[in-house]
Chains A and B, each alone.
Chain A
């Protein structure tokens, strides 16, 4: 019987994979980026006078509860810079204050300038030349710090002295668990030097150490792209209450999909234990 079961299992998995590919193909055929470009101007009236995290006005079906910090997580796909850049620009246009870009292999981190370039280009294409710009700040994580021997984060500003509304952080797996380990080591070193005691260690102490280096709120929403259902090492400490919304692929992702995800986020109700 065992070979038969094995055969049926293979068949089942192949069918599921086929269905997934088919859906993806259909989606990318039907919703080309062109649709997004058409709809963008409609949805964009709100970026200029919005406080970060709060968006006045209600256009193009944009939701009323907005995440202040969105994580864009490319799980198992080969990262495509133009698509990720478009997502960043959409987030910024919707009034999101912080965007974290992450992929499991850390390729964005290795190539941040390319991402920057793409973001600028998408900004020009999607928002037009007069639209306000936002700054892109690259956060240096644990692994990076070690490699560079304590050098501070590299920052590259954009625009021409306009107000920064959205900060983009590029993260890699080294920022996740390794960040927690770094913080733990720091606390232990203090104990070693008799500057602290084990009793000083609690959630608040760790949180402030992990926050100090990042200086951003915890992500409210993570958009995970790709077929693998996992956060693949994305900031374990910070995703305590993060809503994780899964989209099949970031390749040719459409503005509708992005809006739908924001709307789904707005519908989520946080009870925090109660």
Chain B
């Protein structure tokens, strides 16, 4: 079963897609693919069969997304909490993941043709080493592609991701790359696993559950949340259209809320910078008062130096992550 399904929509689907595309379309959609096990129970098939069907549905959904000009998709494949499931099921899921990533490596040309970049978000160290190596190969092989993006959250929870981002920042502080006063909303976003993607516009959860289950908590603060009762293996093109319509209905209010948030973000950044400059001037000026122009100049300089410092730190962080994958790949090559 392949990752990219070839094929076009039928006439009615195509017309509906075009109608939807006349409105604002989400650029990035996140899925919580819930209901595989309930589907298996309902159909009286093996649990593992439910998971396989779920994967097939993912491939199909990715094609629909491409047809609808949605070029970035994030899926919740495996939560850290899922390690609590029975050993048999966890092993089965790991095996399924391994198969699928091996399959993905075999389809390299196809992925290149469509320009698909695969990213895996999560704590890789929790996974068996052979799976880590295969994932690393897939990530490295597709990392230059830039037409569409598939983010697979594996061994992921959002709290873990946020804590990890804070840890990275603390590391930066320890290494003297940044100061603790540089920590901001923006910087934290840049330290998350999802640093290279924009926030999802739309989050879809299937099977009727109405919670986020520790998925992209930070990133979906201002996203449209759509909870649908259909089980994931039964998800259809029309379900996706319905979710997009919900997004379009909420679009204007969401834009407004996001605008407000961005405003307060930059206000806070300015306040933080001002505070640092005041401290600096007090330190330097031996209590001499500084005129408004001098202050402005100092503020401008400080902001520039902070931005440079933060950018350097982020570059170091990125190369650290790249190196992690490259090392895993070369390990796999040796083995």
Contact = CB atoms under 8 A, between A and B. Distances in A.
Given A16-B249, A244-B210, A202 B163 contact: yes
A5 B22 contact: yes
Given A5-B22, A232-B221, A242-B211, A13 B82 contact: no
B261 A181 contact: no
A241 B18 contact: no
Contacts of B174: 191, 197-198
B187 to A, nearest CB: 9
Contacts of B167: 198-199, 201-202
A230 B264 contact: no
A54 interface: no
A185 B181 contact: yes
Contacts of B268: 178
Contacts, number: 182
User: Interface centre among A183, A229, A232, A274, by most B CB within 10 Å?
Assistant: A229
A173 interface: yes
B67 to A, nearest CB: 15
Interface stretch (B94-102, B134-142, B250-258, B282-290): B250-258
Given A13-B248, A202-B167, A232-B222, A273 B173 contact: no
B85 A184 contact: no
B171 A198 contact: yes
A229 B82 CA distance: 27
Contact of B257 (A5, A230, A274): A230
A230 B223 contact: yes
A202 B159 CA distance: 9
B183 interface: yes
Interface in A85-129: 104-105
Interface in B159-211: 159-160, 162-163, 165-171, 173-174, 179-181, 183-185, 188, 209-211
Contacts of A207: 159
Given A230-B254, A274-B84, A181 B184 contact: yes
Given A173-B264, A242-B211, A243-B211, A184 B188 contact: yes
Contacts of A49: none
Contacts of B209: 268
A72 to B, nearest CB: 16
B217 A240 contact: yes
A183 B184 CA distance: 11
B162 A228 contact: no
Nearest to B34: A271
Nearest to B182: A188
The 8 closest A-B pairs by CB, nearest first: A273-B81, A188-B180, A9-B22, A198-B170, A228-B253, A76-B253, A6-B22, A201-B167
18 contacts: A5-B22, A6-B22, A9-B19, A13-B23, A13-B248, A16-B249, A76-B257, A177-B218, A180-B162, A187-B166, A192-B173, A201-B170, A206-B162, A232-B222, A233-B221, A240-B159, A273-B81, A273-B82
